[in-house]
Amino acid sequence: MARRENPEINAGSMADIAFLLLIFFLVTTTMNVDSGVSKKLAEKPPIDYVPPIVKEKNIFEVNLNFRNELQVEGERMEIKDLKDAAKAFIDNGGGVGKVEEGVASGPCNYCKGERLDSSSDHPNKAIISVLSDRGTEYGVYLKVQNELLRAYTELRNRLSKERYGITYTELEEAYKENRDDEGLKARVEAIKKAYPQIISDAEPTSAN
């Protein structure tokens, strides 16, 4: 009896299918990325630039050491209390604002702080200075930055709610969906100008 040979299987089409599946998964698969803090780097100043004189009371010092311990204005503080401390500093309104477009800004008429002589004059003069150590854990640094950003967000939300009936977060989302709306743009810029986000990150120090 003649021996029957097994028929050959054409694997060419299977290879094509496998290749198409590979491309499909590469295109559709999402990849996790590390979280971070969005920052816009300042432009390099000209050689003859003279930095303005800043009053000490307009600087809010936030320090993180290599043990991940937080100090605010020289005093130990828990990270959970940082947001409220930053809000009190930014919103103090103890003096007048900086000169803008040749016109001196008066007292902050929307601030609800205690107007202490020892704290910031105006939100547009309030500078938050963050100094960390090279040994500081990145996660702790991010928590500190997040609390500072929350302070600005809450102040902006409050003012936007008072002026326009919606929070700044909602206002910003509405503008993102309709970039051609000049009215929304003006409102967003007005709130940002009222509470400008001024956070200065100094070069990390080293405990060694």
pLDDT of residue 149: 95
**Amino acid sitting at position 73:** E
Report domain extents, the chain.
56-152+196-201
CA-only gyration radius of the chain, Å? 27
Chain segment 86-143, per-residue pLDDT in tens: 999 999 999 998 876 555 578 999 999 999 999 999 999 999 999 999 999 999 999 9
What is the reported pTM? 0.75
CA distance 24 to 19: 9
Alpha helix stretches (DSSP H) within 115-195 = 138-164, 168-177, 182-194
pLDDT of residue 16: 73
pLDDT of residue 3: 57
Structural tokens at position 179: 């970039």
Ordered strands of the 59-64 beta sheet:
75-76, 70-72, 59-64, 127-131, 199-201
Structural tokens at position 72: 């605010």
pLDDT of residue 19: 75
DSSP state of 208: -
Q: For residues 139, 142, 144 and 146, what is the CA-based torsion angle, rounded to 10 degrees?
A: -140
Distance of CA 195 to the CA centre of its chain: 13
Residue 62 burial (CB count, 10 A): 25
CA distance 139 to 202: 18
Chain segment 28-85, per-residue pLDDT in tens: 776 555 555 555 555 556 666 566 678 999 999 999 999 999 999 999 999 999 999 9
